[in-house]
């Protein structure tokens, strides 16, 4: 059977694709956010540093003075080992620090407000923070601007570090997600596999509707499967009905033909005529028997479809069946030796009788005259064995399993009426009862040993 690929694999692939997309997205988000956070931290420290310096500004004898507090720079060292620059200027006059440090461009800083900017200084990118304060110098308020700057390489390293860690986490997340996707795909496909398994576990004639809880998505499949099985069962039943009906309609006129032939046999004197009439009677017997077996087989299949189980005492059943075949055995002076221990099973008595009758009929039919057929009922652990042993020719050297096939007869059955359905019926009945039919040649001497094995109730 050629498939169109695996649903499981397709589902896993799709989920993995989604996981990959989410991984990349989360990685870029984490990277962006961490870069922002690091930048903001640097800004905050720069602002704090500039403000601290600005707070030390005071005027002394009309001059602006300041002390550079150590803490103002040490806090910058806390975030990275980047180089730090500063400048304090009153208007255009640089009071202290690096004169060539660029001043923050953009909006003119309001008094007490911190302004940030990014620029280039001595071939490196720097981040600057400026704050302006008014200082009284010579009776005049003079705006003094404190600018603190720091290079960004350390900060970039931190950002890159965080980004790498986020990448590792994203890859791990992706791998875990792929694993879960595979599990999820398998779990969601499990009901489908279970249904397939339960259908393939069934016996060939088990057409009961599937009664199992299935996810809603599978309900249409189950429904059409059950409908199909219903239709199939119906058409099988119809053909079995047809066989039964046909067999019945054949048997009745055959009985008439046989009766007429018997009467004719008695009234004719000519030997050739008599031989012909005997041939007719034999042929009629054979057809009638085949029709009977077909009817039985149809009944067996019909009844095993839904077995009506009731407690059956096998000792009693064996006694009855043996009694029913006693006259046939007596004609060949065959002795039926029945020994049965009470054994109870759950089963369909009509079917069990039919199975045993076919086996017993074979034993009588294929045995020579004046022999013995023994029937034993024994209990072994949780099984009941009905063993029928005869002193006939045995089952031959061919494969024994083949004898239970439909219409299969043995090699040396010439002259013995039969249809090849007896063992088929017996086996079907036993299989329907969760039992089996064991065929073997009798060990020690010739003969056949057929065992009907049934589970105890």
Ligand X SMILES: Nc1ncnc2c1ncn2[C@@H]1O[C@H](COP(=O)(O)OP(=O)(O)O)[C@@H](O)[C@H]1O
Which does residue 315 bind out of ligand X, Mg ion, none, counting CB within 5 to 8 angstroms by kind?
none
CB-based burial of residue 400 (10 Å sphere; 0-12 exposed, 13-18 middle, 19+ buried)?
middle
b/e per residue 251-280 (b: at least 16 CB within 10 A): beebeeebeebeeebeeeeeeeeeeebeeb
Q: Rounded to the nearest whole angstrom, what is the least distance from the CB of residue 242 to Mg ion in the complex? A: 23
269 or 399: whose CB is closer to ligand X? 399
Our finding on whether 424 is near Mg ion (CB under 5 A) is no
Distance, in Å, from the CA atom of 299 to the CA atom of 358, rounded to the nearest integer, reads: 14
Interactions with Mg ion, residue window 86-105 (CB under 5 A): none
115 or 355: whose CB is closer to ligand X? 355
8 or 394: whose CB is closer to Mg ion? 394
144 or 334: whose CB is closer to ligand X? 334
Q: Rounded to the nearest whole angstrom, what is the least distance from the CB of residue 202 to ligand X in the complex? A: 25
The stretch near Mg ion (CB under 5 A) out of 202-210, 281-289, 321-329, 421-429 is 421-429
Q: Rounded to the nearest whole angstrom, what is the least distance from the CB of residue 445 to ligand X in the complex? A: 13
Q: Which two tokens stand for residue 262?
A: 């018997």
Angle at alpha carbon of residue 38, lines to 36 and 44, rounded to 5°: 100
Distance, in Å, from the CA atom of 89 to the CA atom of 142, rounded to the nearest integer, reads: 10
Angle at alpha carbon of residue 27, lines to 22 and 30, rounded to 5°: 120
Q: Is 109 within 8 Å of 130 (Cβ atoms)? A: yes
- Residue least distant from Mg ion (Cβ): 422
The only residue of 362, 367, 404, 424 in contact with Mg ion, by rule CB under 5 A:
362
Q: Rounded to the nearest whole angstrom, what is the least distance from the CB of residue 251 to ligand X in the complex? A: 16
Distance, in Å, from the CA atom of 206 to the CA atom of 397, rounded to the nearest integer, reads: 33
Our finding on whether 422 is near Mg ion (CB under 5 A) is yes
Query: Within its chain, how far is the Cα of 77 from the centroid?
Result: 62
Distance between the two ends of the chain, CA-based, in angstroms?
A: 43
Helix (H/G/I), strand (E/B), else coil: 15: helix
35 or 251: whose CB is closer to ligand X? 251
262 or 286: whose CB is closer to ligand X? 286
- Residue least distant from ligand X (Cβ): 410
102 or 420: whose CB is closer to ligand X? 420
Q: Rounded to the nearest whole angstrom, what is the least distance from the CB of residue 394 to ligand X in the complex? A: 6
42 or 358: whose CB is closer to ligand X? 358
Distance, in Å, from the CA atom of 274 to the CA atom of 267, rounded to the nearest integer, reads: 9
Q: Rounded to the nearest whole angstrom, what is the least distance from the CB of residue 441 to ligand X in the complex? A: 9
Q: Rounded to the nearest whole angstrom, what is the least distance from the CB of residue 368 to Mg ion in the complex? A: 17
Positions touching ligand X (CB under 6 A) are 358, 362-363, 366, 390, 392-395, 403, 409-410, 413, 418-424, 448
Tokens 């007719």 correspond to what residue? 280
Phi, psi angle pair for 342, to nearest 5°: -60, 130
Tokens 């791990």 correspond to what residue? 172
Percent of residues in the chain assigned helix, strand, coil, to nearest 5: 55, 20, 25
The stretch near Mg ion (CB under 5 A) out of 91-99, 175-183, 276-284, 415-423 is 415-423
Q: Rounded to the nearest whole angstrom, what is the least distance from the CB of residue 420 to ligand X in the complex? A: 4
Site string for Mg ion, 20-59 (x = CB under 5 A): ----------------------------------------
Tokens 């690096």 correspond to what residue? 98
DSSP structure class, residue 269: -
The residues of the shown chain that bind Mg ion, judged by CB under 5 A, are 362, 422
């Amino acid at each position: 059977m050629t498939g169109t690929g695996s649903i499981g694999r397709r589902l896993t692939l799709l989920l993995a694709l989604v996981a990959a997309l989410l991984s990349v997205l989360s990685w870029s988000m984490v990277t962006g956010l961490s870069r922002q956070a690091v930048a903001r931290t640097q800004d905050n420290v720069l602002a704090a540093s500039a403000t601290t310096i600005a707070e030390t500004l005071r005027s002394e004898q009309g001059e602006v003075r300041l002390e550079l507090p150590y803490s103002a720079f040490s806090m910058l060292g806390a975030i990275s080992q980047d180089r730090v620059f500063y400048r304090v200027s009153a208007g255009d006059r640089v009071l202290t620090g690096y004169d060539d440090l660029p001043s923050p461009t953009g909006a003119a800083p309001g008094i007490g407000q911190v302004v940030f900017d990014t620029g280039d200084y001595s071939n490196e990118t720097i981040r600057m923070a400026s704050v302006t304060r008014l200082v009284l110098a010579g009776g005049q308020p003079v705006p003094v601007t404190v600018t603190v700057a720091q290079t960004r390489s350390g900060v970039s390293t931190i950002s890159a570090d965080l980004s790498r860690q986020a990448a590792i986490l994203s890859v791990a997340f992706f791998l875990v997600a792929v694993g879960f996707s595979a599990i999820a795909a398998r779990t969601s496909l499990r009901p489908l596999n279970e249904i397939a398994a339960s259908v393939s576990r069934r016996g060939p004639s088990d057409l009961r509707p599937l009664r199992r809880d299935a996810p809603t998505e599978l309900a249409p499949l189950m429904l059409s499967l059950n409908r199909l099985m219903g239709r199939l069962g119906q058409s099988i039943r119809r053909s079995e009905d047809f066989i039964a009906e046909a067999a019945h309609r054949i048997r009745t006129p055959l009985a008439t033909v046989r009766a007429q032939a018997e009467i004719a046999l008695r009234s004719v004197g000519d030997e050739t005529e008599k031989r012909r009439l005997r041939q007719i009677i034999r042929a009629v017997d054979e057809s009638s028997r085949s029709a009977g077996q077909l009817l039985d087989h149809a009944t067996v299949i019909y009844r095993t479809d839904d077995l009506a189980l009731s407690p059956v005492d096998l000792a009693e059943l064996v006694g009855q069946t043996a009694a029913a075949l006693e006259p046939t055995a007596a004609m060949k002076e065959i002795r039926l030796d029945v020994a049965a221990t009470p054994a109870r099973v759950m089963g369909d008595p009509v079917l069990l009788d039919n199975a045993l009758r076919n086996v017993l009929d074979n034993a009588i039919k294929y045995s020579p005259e004046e022999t013995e057929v023994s029937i034993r009922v024994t209990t072994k652990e949780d099984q009941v064995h009905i063993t029928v042993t005869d002193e006939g020719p045995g089952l031959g050297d061919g494969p024994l399993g083949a004898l239970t096939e439909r219409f299969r007869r043995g090699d040396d059955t010439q002259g013995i009426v039969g249809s090849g359905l007896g063992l088929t019926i017996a086996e079907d009945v036993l299989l329907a009862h969760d039992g089996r039919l064991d065929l073997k040649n009798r060990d020690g001497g010739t003969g056949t040993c057929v065992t009907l094995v049934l589970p105890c109730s």
